[in-house]
Chains A and B, each alone.
Chain A
Amino acid sequence: MMMGANKALELKNISKMYNSVSNDKEFLAVDDISVSIKAGEFVTLLGPSGCGKTTTLRMLAGFEIPTEGDILLGGKKLNDIPANKRNTTMVFQSYALFPHYNIFDNIAYGLKIKKVPKHEIKDKVVKIIKLVGLENLEKRFPGQLSGGQQQRVALARSLVMEPDLLLFDEPLSNLDAKLRVYMRNEIKKIQRRLGLTSVFVTHDQAEALSLSDRIIIMNKGKIEQVGTPQEIYQYPKSEFVADFIGNANFVDGIIKEIGDEYITVDFLGSVTKIKNKGLADFKVNEEVKVVIRPEAINLKTDGNYNGKVTLSTFMGNTQEYSILLKGSTLFVEEPNPAGKTIYREDENVRFSIQEEGLHVVPKKINKRWGVKDDV
């Protein structure tokens, strides 16, 4: 299928201020963010509610006007172009299908507005209906479709416009868990096939990890970190990022030595070498947080740590434990519990920690609890 020329997107020092009517105060929803997105790239804006991700997306669509900064699409400034004149299309969280039009007319709506010749509209709509797998449903109305089917219509309606930029506003959050994973994969396949520059907003880390070329983690209107899913997971810059992506245990530590390759940190009663990823300027004797990914903790009888089980939960594919040692409670996931020793509450257990699952991040006084996974 033919698509519009792919265009690169650039956000230059974008800020968005809202004037609150009730108390005459301004609220800075997006605070001076800059980011470049390559043509054909799939980028996710990930963060807790209120982090500014949706506001950013709505500025790209033209529903909000940036208070400051410029949005450039293919080098052209978008700021003052109204939403209906931008060649961007959005897939909405609520699908936003037109209830009084059937599926065909829903998808054809934008083409009709553009005054595309009738036979051409028909060709395009039929093709897109095939692409998203909605054959034989053209005459139905949105109310007669399942959530997943409505989602496809919303996607088709956006794709058929051959946009320069495709926007997704948490499009999967209204689907049940299994369908969500399925649609996630569908979106990925279609996007890869058409090579559309896409910006996807979500608060679901699994969606972000599985869909994105790059993830932009936002918090309180600012960008916390930008990187590929692997970079974000394996090289978290801050406690916030480590906490938001994947599960993480945080324990207090003190830096003993800083080398080029390794940082030596004193935590959980012993001194351990952790790879120096060069993400922050640490000082010797600085108090830090050590991130321990639950999957890096291996229960074994010759492990060098010793703790007490406070909670043991069977989850089917894993056995989850809370293990207390030195005043810290660690969350542990043991895969494939069948055939393994299951520890009960109050039992003592020995374990080791893999170095790959350890990260050092600066200690923050005010830790912000993000919304984790699907809440």
Chain B
Amino acid sequence: MYSIFYKLVNKWGELLKKNKANANKGFGHKLISEFKMISKDPILLITIIAVIFSLFLFIILPLYHVLKQSLIDLDGNFSISGYITAFTSSSNFASIVNTLVLATIVGVIATIIGFVFAYAAAYIKMRGKKLFNLIAILPLISPPFAISISIIFMFGSRGLITHDLLGLNDFNIYGLTGLVLVQSLSFFPLAYLLLSGVLETIDPSMEEASQNLGGSRWNTFAKVTFPLAKPAIVNAFLLVFIKSIADFGNPIAIGGGYNTLAVQIYQQAIGNYDMAGAAALAVILLDISLIMFIVQKYYFENKSYVTVTGKSAKERLMIGEKHIRLPISMFCITASLIIIALYALIPLGSVVKLWGINYSLTFDHYIYVFSVGKKAILDTTIFAAIAAPITGIVGMIVAYLIVRKRFLGRTFVDFTSMLGIAIPGTVIGIGYILAFNSPPVVLTGTALILIIAFIARSVPVGIKSAVTTLQQIDPSIEEAAQDLGANSFKVFTTITLPMIKTAFLGGLIYSFIKSMTALSAVIFLISAKYNLMTIVILDQVEVGKFGTASAFSTVLIAIVYLAIFIMYRIVGLFGVSKKDIKLTKG
């Protein structure tokens, strides 16, 4: 008996030894072999190096500079005074608290509204669902503080409702209330899109099973639908939360004295020239954003109970009972109409002399916009048009590398490009001025830095959507091409790119829109030579020239619309149905 035991232990030991030797030899061997393989494909090798270098230069280096700046004092010595002031100075500390309070409230409200809309879209028998798509796309194609302008038109001191309708003279919309209102309306479409995507993929047979077993509508909702959607609901909250803390335009337009971190950073950096203090606040903002992002990414994305295998073949039977249908559809349609009306106020406000005082028709604002603002309009449009194709191509290439290639540094590329989504624009903006103001790379004041900022801000989403598309394509199609003699470059150009052209064109359009409406990062990077539309609009809002601001905004929306129209035309030439391009996802 003992001898058998002894033999077993001996054998096991031998086995372990052998495995270990194999493992050590294997890993080194593998790395060398993989490197050998890649080095035989020079285009691939150069691309990988270029991608890693760019990510390092335009994402990691600026963040490093922010961190470094936050840890030195005016004389250049190591110091944590920036962080001490961040928590002791009342205005700084207040901005941290304000940011968190605002994001939490907005997160909750926007998620609730988004859920009601998503539920209506997926479950309720009602008309007017097409309106939902419109309200989902409106915030995307408008300047980031468009709703702020309309809300001021409605509820400002000379607002349509507050002053003209209710006769209030001292009503103050500026501050937390206004911000909550504006951000909730601006960001709930995000929650709606995410939740409706999830609710639509819930297999109706699960709900049918619940009803079949005697569950009422309410029971089915509470015990089946809601628990299934719960991870997505938390996800939606986090997404809105991240959006809210990164928002710069609305807090500056309607925040009044309610400063958030994004605004405080700007004021410290540009107003007070306190770079260390601004950098410390930027690091804090970045940390909050990253924590939320990582929680969202690693915890909830994997926790989804809904399997995404495409739409279920079965159609869901829509709920038609009056007591459920009426209140929900009334709510959604009223809310949609209010939002559309708010956006409609912008062009309206651009053709009246002075909102709240003189409603006579005029085109003065447009004359002003096209004379004084001409350069900003042209610059913005040209820069965005340059950035878009670069973003599209870079996005495709990086996605291809992440999904299909194994190489040293792949994890770095994957993680860093994902990180880009979570970095608030303000942090990127301050990082860029710190990193590119002195040699070796001097870019501040140039058009190039604006274009690079546009690309850096929109490429993560482009990568993400291309990654999603690529993951749905059977890798053996590309393997087949390789097997038939194509190198990586050929595989990418002849096989991969044609198959993901939809995502490519979607990324192109997204990038253009995002660049046209960018604000938080580029506000740090404009110069006397190059100004951008969003910033001009913000200047007008700050001095109370809402008519001009509206006219500028209207022009911006018109350019974006025109661009979308033209790009859809081009898309048509490539044989892609425009329905396939999901502008609103991502």
Complex formed: what's the CA distance from A92 to B478 in Å? 11
Chain B residues 497-532 with CB under 8 Å of chain A are: 498-499
Query: Residue on B with the closest CB to A61?
Result: B483
Which of chain B's residues have a CB closer than 8 A to the CB of A157? Answer: 480, 484
Are A82 and B37 in contact, with the CB atoms below 8 A? yes
Are A65 and B34 in contact, with the CB atoms below 8 A? yes
Are B474 and A96 in contact, with the CB atoms below 8 A? yes
In the assembled complex, the CB of A361 is this many whole angstroms from the nearest CB of chain B, namely 23
Task: Tell whether A129 is near chain B: CB-to-CB under 8 Å.
Answer: no
Are A19 and B477 in contact, with the CB atoms below 8 A? no
Are B484 and A82 in contact, with the CB atoms below 8 A? no
Contact status of A90 and B483, CB under 8 A, knowing A65-B30, A98-B495: yes
Query: Residue on B with the closest CB to A115?
Result: B485
Which of chain A's residues have a CB closer than 8 A to the CB of B474? Answer: 94, 96
Interface string of A17-31 (1 = CB under 8 A from B): 101000000101000
Are A19 and B27 in contact, with the CB atoms below 8 A? yes
Q: B476 touches which one: A85, A94, A99 (CB < 8 A)?
A: A94
Chain B residues 316-351 with CB under 8 Å of chain A are: none
Contact status of A100 and B499, CB under 8 A, knowing A17-B23, A79-B33: yes
Which of chain A's residues have a CB closer than 8 A to the CB of B498? Answer: 100
Task: Tell whether B19 is near chain A: CB-to-CB under 8 Å.
Answer: yes
Which of chain A's residues have a CB closer than 8 A to the CB of B487? Answer: 82, 84
Task: Tell whether B405 is near chain A: CB-to-CB under 8 Å.
Answer: no
Task: Tell whether A80 is near chain B: CB-to-CB under 8 Å.
Answer: yes
Complex formed: what's the CA distance from A48 to B22 in Å? 25
Task: Tell whether B36 is near chain A: CB-to-CB under 8 Å.
Answer: yes
Query: Residue on B with the closest CB to A91?
Result: B480
Are B486 and A67 in contact, with the CB atoms below 8 A? no
Query: Residue on B with the closest CB to A58?
Result: B479
Q: B481 touches which one: A17, A88, A109 (CB < 8 A)?
A: A109
Query: Residue on A with the closest CB to B484?
Result: A110
Chain B residues 15-30 with CB under 8 Å of chain A are: 19, 22-23, 25-27, 29-30
In the assembled complex, the CB of B473 is this many whole angstroms from the nearest CB of chain A, namely 9
Are B490 and A113 in contact, with the CB atoms below 8 A? yes
In the assembled complex, the CB of A32 is this many whole angstroms from the nearest CB of chain B, namely 9
Are B26 and A82 in contact, with the CB atoms below 8 A? no
Complex formed: what's the CA distance from A93 to B475 in Å? 12
Are B41 and A161 in contact, with the CB atoms below 8 A? no
Complex formed: what's the CA distance from A110 to B33 in Å? 25
Interface string of A47-66 (1 = CB under 8 A from B): 00000000000000111010
Query: Residue on B with the closest CB to A15?
Result: B22
Which of chain A's residues have a CB closer than 8 A to the CB of B485? Answer: 84-85, 110, 113-114, 161
Complex formed: what's the CA distance from A84 to B479 in Å? 9
Interface string of A66-85 (1 = CB under 8 A from B): 01100000000001101111
Task: Tell whether B40 is near chain A: CB-to-CB under 8 Å.
Answer: yes
Q: A92 touches which one: B26, B40, B476 (CB < 8 A)?
A: B476
Are B30 and A67 in contact, with the CB atoms below 8 A? yes
Task: Tell whether B482 is near chain A: CB-to-CB under 8 Å.
Answer: yes
Query: Residue on A with the closest CB to B38?
Result: A82
Complex formed: what's the CA distance from A157 to B485 in Å? 12
Task: Tell whether A97 is near chain B: CB-to-CB under 8 Å.
Answer: yes
Q: B486 touches which one: A88, A96, A113 (CB < 8 A)?
A: A113
Which of chain A's residues have a CB closer than 8 A to the CB of B484? Answer: 84, 89, 109-110, 113, 157, 161
Complex formed: what's the CA distance from A229 to B325 in Å? 66
Are B26 and A97 in contact, with the CB atoms below 8 A? no
Q: A97 touches which one: B29, B36, B37, B477 (CB < 8 A)?
A: B477
Complex formed: what's the CA distance from A114 to B40 in Å? 17
Chain B residues 42-92 with CB under 8 Å of chain A are: none
Query: Residue on A with the closest CB to B29?
Result: A67
Complex formed: what's the CA distance from A245 to B257 in Å? 80
Are A92 and B29 in contact, with the CB atoms below 8 A? no
In the assembled complex, the CB of A104 is this many whole angstroms from the nearest CB of chain B, namely 14
Are B477 and A82 in contact, with the CB atoms below 8 A? no
Complex formed: what's the CA distance from A68 to B19 in Å? 13
Are A83 and B482 in contact, with the CB atoms below 8 A? yes
Which of chain B's residues have a CB closer than 8 A to the CB of A92? Answer: 476, 479-480
Q: B480 touches which one: A67, A88, A90, A114 (CB < 8 A)?
A: A90
Query: Residue on B with the closest CB to A113?
Result: B485
Are A98 and B481 in contact, with the CB atoms below 8 A? yes
Are A98 and B477 in contact, with the CB atoms below 8 A? yes
Complex formed: what's the CA distance from A82 to B486 in Å? 10
17 other A-B residue contacts (CB within 8 Å) besides A63-B482, A84-B485: A26-B19, A26-B22, A62-B482, A67-B22, A82-B487, A84-B482, A84-B486, A85-B40, A89-B483, A90-B480, A96-B477, A96-B479, A96-B480, A98-B480, A98-B495, A110-B484, A110-B486
The 7 closest A-B pairs by CB, nearest first: A110-B484, A96-B476, A96-B480, A67-B26, A113-B485, A65-B33, A92-B476
Q: List 24 A-B contacts (CB under 8 A).
A: A15-B26, A17-B30, A19-B30, A26-B23, A26-B26, A61-B479, A61-B483, A63-B483, A65-B34, A65-B37, A67-B29, A80-B33, A83-B479, A83-B482, A89-B484, A92-B480, A94-B476, A97-B477, A98-B480, A98-B481, A99-B477, A109-B486, A110-B486, A114-B485
